[in-house]
Amino acid sequence: MFKTLQNSEIIQYLTEKFDEDSVKYPLAAPGPAWRKFRSSFCEFVAALVCQCQYSYLYDDFLMDTLISLLTGLSDSQIRAFRHTSTLAAMKLMTGLVRIALHLSLQKDNNQRQYEAERNKGLGHRSPERLESLLEKHKELQEHQEEIEGMMNAIFRGVFVHRYRDVLPEIRAICMEEIGTWMQSYSTSFLTDSYLKYIGWTLHDKQREVRLKCLKALQGLYSDRDFISCLELFTSRFKDRMVSMVMDREYDVAVESIKLLTLILKNMEGVLTDTDCESIYPVVYASNRALASAAGEFLYWKLFFPECEVGVANGREQHHSPRRNFFYLLLAFSMESELHDHAAYLVDSLWDCAGPQLKDWESLTGLLLEKDQSLGDVQENTLIEILVSSARQATEGYPPVGRVTGRKGFTAKERKIQADDKLKLTEHLIPLLPQLLAKFSADAEKVSPLLQLLNFFDLNIYCTGRLQKHLELLLQQLQEVVVKHTEPVVLEAGARALYLLCDPEFTFFSRVDFARSQLVDLLTDRFQQELEELLQGSFLDEDEVYNMAATLKRLSAFHNAHDLTRWELYEPCCRLLKKAVDTGDVPRQIILPALTLIYFSVLWTLAHVSGSKSSQEQVMGLRGKLLTLCDLCQSCLSDVDSEIQEQAFVLLSDLLLIFSPQMILGGQDHLKPLIFLPETTLQSELASFLMDHVFIQPGEPGSDTKDAEEEQAQIEQLHQRRRLLAGFCKLLLYGVLEMEAASDIFKHYSKFYNDYGDIIKEILTRSRQINRKQCSQTLLLSLKQLYTELLQEHGPNGLDSLPAFMEMRDLARRFALSFGPQQLRNRDLIVMLHKLSYFQKCLHRVPQPCSHWSPVISYCRSLSSQENSAETSPQGHPQPKRRRIEATSKQGQEHFCPPQEQSLLLSSAPQTPTFTSTTVKGRYSLWRQKDGEEDSASEFTQSQPPFGSQKPKYSYREDFHHNVHSRYGSGLGSQLTRLSLMEEEDDDDEIVIEESSEEEAGKWEDTDKHASSHSSFKRQRDLFDSAEVGSDVISETTLCLLQADCPVINIISPTGI
């Protein structure tokens, strides 16, 4: 082919034989086999050049032909040809560079040999040798010129055009190889004329290309011999390299910081303070690789030079260099104004400054020094650094929010951690009581110091005969608990005492005795103060503070320790009952009392969970549970928001703990403890959610708010998110019915910034649990939104309101959540059609009985059985109240407003006023004339009003019963069955097939006549949309049907 055809003809022939539309070729194919092929291909090209370097390389045929063919293929429009030929050409160029370097070395050796031979005396000089050396030099010169010609042809014919190719893989190949050329043959390639290509490509849009450029530059800046050749390039592209620290791709930013670290080490004075200050904040980044790279830069910029100076100037002072390091670390932490994040700073510096950070002798020496000049904030920062370094040394895990990606530690790393833990324990056991004694009055310092026990090897107290230090520690621990009331300090103290109260330790009896003394002291105080309060005497502020402090301490310790034998449940119950009955108990006392009684119930549950527990113990715990739930339910109506939130959190946890799942795993004897919330309790929980979570506070970050107000708003948002998460867990674990989620779903768009992730997660989980029920809940949430909008603005001009457009957007978002699988969602879409279509028809029914026959035929086509439908009157919703005080009485036509109806969530929530069909007309279905035909009577038989229906408290397992309870008894049991039928009877299908076109036209005419002569006014709602045949399908359903549009033709009357 090479002898008979030109290169252009060969390329044309290959192009005709290759499928241009195919993107599958070896270099782009995934898998280990094709990766091995790529590396083997590159090795083949390199071996070809190496084997031909003494013969065929200079025959003016092989290399010229190959380079010409590769150059032509690299300009091909076919991606496979262009990619493969560029890779081959670049590897060929790399092989030629190695040969050129070898020739250059041979040429230099030949020149030295020639000079040495020529400098010999006349008697020792050999003319023949000089002549042979000159011939060898001439031959090497010719070969070098030929190689340089080949390299120049490849560079100008391939590289110059392909370094800006549209394919990022090709651009990355070019950048990788030019970096190799510069490092291998710096005399020819390490010039500004070649460096500019890397500098320009630093701005590439693709991550892979920028990454190759940075790695190529790292190889150049790591060699001090190349620094002089990089000065002009550095001054030209330094700003770009600094800006890449904030690259959106983490790996690119990491390599950029590593490059700047090399520049910092090898080129003094190039990086200005402004350049460095843009890198310092990155040590607090969430990505650990990026933070570690920034930490190394920080170490070499600030810490390493100063520490070296300290070592050189103060060799006689043993701790001077290490203390100097901590002073610099404090200064940096203070200047960065992020001293509360010392744990992240320690983690960033750990890889490069681990030995300095593990110098706990210097750290504790600075903290215990009497004549120190450290401020309060500096002491807090030092203590946090001490705790963070201890955690990092003994556990090896990064702080919260940083992920290493590692699955575990090697045996060597575990051995290092064990040694560090032993050293830490031996050093801090004698010093920890001293640190607690010095900082016992400061809660911010005591709390992290108590956490140091988590990183101790507590067995050393036994093996090292350090009981004296244990006594001092217990004494200081008791003083700290008695002195402080802050929750963080009390929790740390309770946790520390819990670690020491391990029965396996030989000193357990001593620690248990100290714990009993402390609890006895607190219990006696509580009993005395409680008697004064129950006797009705007035408590001043000091007495209230003392009692609240005692309850906080007992609550914190009851969380970690079993205090059942002190019998704190009954006193707390009496206290809370008085608070509920009289309202004279201050809020500061009620909050810890609720928590204390909650922990008492949980510890009792832990006791009776064993198989040896008696039925009497189980029933006693049930009585305590019911009492606690009644108290919490009463607190939900308290005027104080903190008490309401505390009661809501406790109720959420109790309902989840005592749910039906507690008997799993062979715990059948706990079945009497299962607690299912009644209708009133469910309603109050949902009402609390609406009043305290889905509210519109001030926007954080506003210019009119200071930092404290903004921080307070952020904390409130976190609290609301916790409340919402607690309610969502009740839904997912089946404690509350799925329909209760409608109150959450309808706020998806409005509160997306605050709770979007939580609502999206529960939407996904609920769909995994029950796809049909989740779809019904989505539709119900849209109906609730529309009903609320209708009551606020009336039926006129709704489609022009912003709230209506938001509703449409929410429906579209719900539709997108179904996904693109049409066949999978077919049954769901049909079900939504049925639900919305039947309710639509029932409220658009004209009075003449003849107009009902098509509707009845359509209903029969979807139903497998014929029963009479039941309807109930609908009332007009009332304005929203904050809380539901009582349920409707029997025999009265009383209906809750839309907001309250959504909150009346029983195990079978009833929401008749939230369906759009309830406001379609001014007349209800049972007001039809008694003289209508029998077919029409199927839809006009009525039931007692909704208010007379008795709510249900247990879980519903039947699907049709589920939907019946959702839409209320007013729509009738038969209507519910008709609207939810999944299959059609064969007989009804035959009837539908025999329907004639004449009957369909008659249906259309009668429907038009009914529309023009209807005696009641039809109100527009969200479900008025494009007509299919002669009927109107709900717009909400249309939005939800975007995932499966063809279903409309299947169930529409025209299709019938």
Please report the pLDDT score of residue 196 as a whole number.
94
Question: Token digits for 1033?
Answer: 């399908």
Please report the pLDDT score of residue 967 as a whole number.
36
Please report the pLDDT score of residue 1052 as a whole number.
31
Give the whole-angstrom CA distance, residue 202 versus residue 176: 13
Residue 662 has pLDDT above 60, yes or no: yes
Residue 911 has pLDDT above 60, yes or no: no
Give the whole-angstrom CA distance, residue 905 versus residue 740: 6
Give the whole-angstrom CA distance, residue 859 versus residue 837: 10
Give the whole-angstrom CA distance, residue 822 versus residue 1045: 9
pLDDT digits (tens, 9 = 90+) for 953-1002: 333 344 334 434 433 433 333 333 333 333 333 344 333 333 333 433 43
Please report the pLDDT score of residue 647 as a whole number.
94
Backbone φ and ψ for 942, nearest 5 degrees, come out as -110, 165
Question: Token digits for 1052?
Answer: 């529409």
Cβ atoms 84, 124 nearer than 8 A: no
Question: Token digits for 104?
Answer: 């250059």
Residue 919 has pLDDT above 50, yes or no: no
Cβ atoms 174, 161 nearer than 8 A: no
SS3 312: helix
Give the whole-angstrom CA distance, residue 969 versus residue 954: 17
Q: State the average pLDDT for the chain.
A: 77
Which amino acid is located at 273 in the chain? D
Please report the pLDDT score of residue 633 as a whole number.
92
Q: What does 805-855 look like in DSSP terms, one character per residue?
A: HHHHHHHHHHHHTT-S-TTTTHHHHHHHHHHHHHHHHHTS--SSGGGGHHH
Span of 266-270, 722-726, 1029-1033 with lowest mean pLDDT: 1029-1033
- Better pLDDT: 893 or 413: 413
Angle between helices 679-692 and 615-635 (to 10 degrees): 40
- Of 346, 435, 441, 355, the C-alpha closest to 399 is 346
Cβ atoms 960, 976 nearer than 8 A: yes
User: Which stretch, 758-767, 798-807, 837-846, 1008-1017, has highest mean pLDDT?
Assistant: 758-767
- Of 860, 823, 825, the C-alpha closest to 984 is 860
SS3 898: helix
Decide the pairing of beta strands 1027-1028 and 1031-1032.
Answer: antiparallel
Span of 89-98, 120-129, 943-952 with lowest mean pLDDT: 943-952
Give the whole-angstrom CA distance, residue 395 versus residue 380: 22
Give the whole-angstrom CA distance, residue 1028 versus residue 840: 13
Helix residue spans in 853-911 (DSSP H): 853-862, 898-903
Q: How many CA atoms lie within 13 A of 824 on its CB side?
A: 8
SS3 871: strand
The strand pairing partners of 928, in sequence order, are none
Please report the pLDDT score of residue 374 as a whole number.
83
Please report the pLDDT score of residue 957 as a whole number.
40
Confidence of residue 1051 (pLDDT cuts 50, 70, 90): very low
Which amino acid is located at 458 in the chain? L
Residue 749 has pLDDT above 60, yes or no: yes
| 89 burial type by CB count under 10 A (0-12 exposed, 13-18 middle, 19+ buried) | buried
Please report the pLDDT score of residue 339 as a whole number.
57
Residue 930 has pLDDT above 90, yes or no: no
Backbone conformation region of residue 674, classed left if phi is above 0, alpha if psi is from -120 to 50, else beta: beta
For 335-362, give one letter per residue: b (16+ CB within 10 A) or e. Answer: eeeebebbbbbbbbbbebbeebbbbbeb
- Better pLDDT: 310 or 824: 824
pLDDT digits (tens, 9 = 90+) for 993-1039: 333 334 334 334 434 443 343 333 333 333 333 333 333 334 444 34
pLDDT digits (tens, 9 = 90+) for 752-767: 889 999 999 999 999 8
Give the whole-angstrom CA distance, residue 248 versus residue 251: 9
pLDDT digits (tens, 9 = 90+) for 506-522: 899 999 999 999 999 99
SS3 900: helix
Cβ atoms 297, 262 nearer than 8 A: no
Residue 547 has pLDDT above 80, yes or no: yes
Question: Token digits for 741?
Answer: 């989620």
Please report the pLDDT score of residue 837 as a whole number.
59
Backbone conformation region of residue 614, classed left if phi is above 0, alpha if psi is from -120 to 50, else beta: beta
Please report the pLDDT score of residue 934 as a whole number.
41
Residue 200 has pLDDT above 90, yes or no: yes
Q: Where are the beta strands (DSSP E) in 404-480?
A: none
Give the whole-angstrom CA distance, residue 975 versus residue 968: 11
Please report the pLDDT score of residue 202 as a whole number.
95
3-state secondary structure 211-278: HHHHHHHHHHHCCHHHHHHHHHHHHHHHHHHHHHHHCCCHHHHHHHHHHHHHHHHHCCCCCCHHHHHC
Q: What does 512-566 look like in DSSP terms, one character per residue?
A: HHHHHHHHHHHHHHHHHHHHHHHTTPPP-HHHHHHHHHHHHHHHHHHHHS--GGG
User: Which stretch, 197-206, 734-743, 775-784, has highest mean pLDDT?
Assistant: 197-206
Cβ atoms 93, 180 nearer than 8 A: no
User: If residue 910 lies in a helix (H) or strand (E), which one and from where to where?
Assistant: none
pLDDT digits (tens, 9 = 90+) for 23-40: 678 888 888 898 899 889
Residue 661 has pLDDT above 50, yes or no: yes
For 1045-1056, what is the mean pLDDT? 31
Q: How many CA atoms lie within 13 A of 643 on its CB side?
A: 21
Which amino acid is located at 343 in the chain? A
Percent of the chain topping pLDDT 70: 75
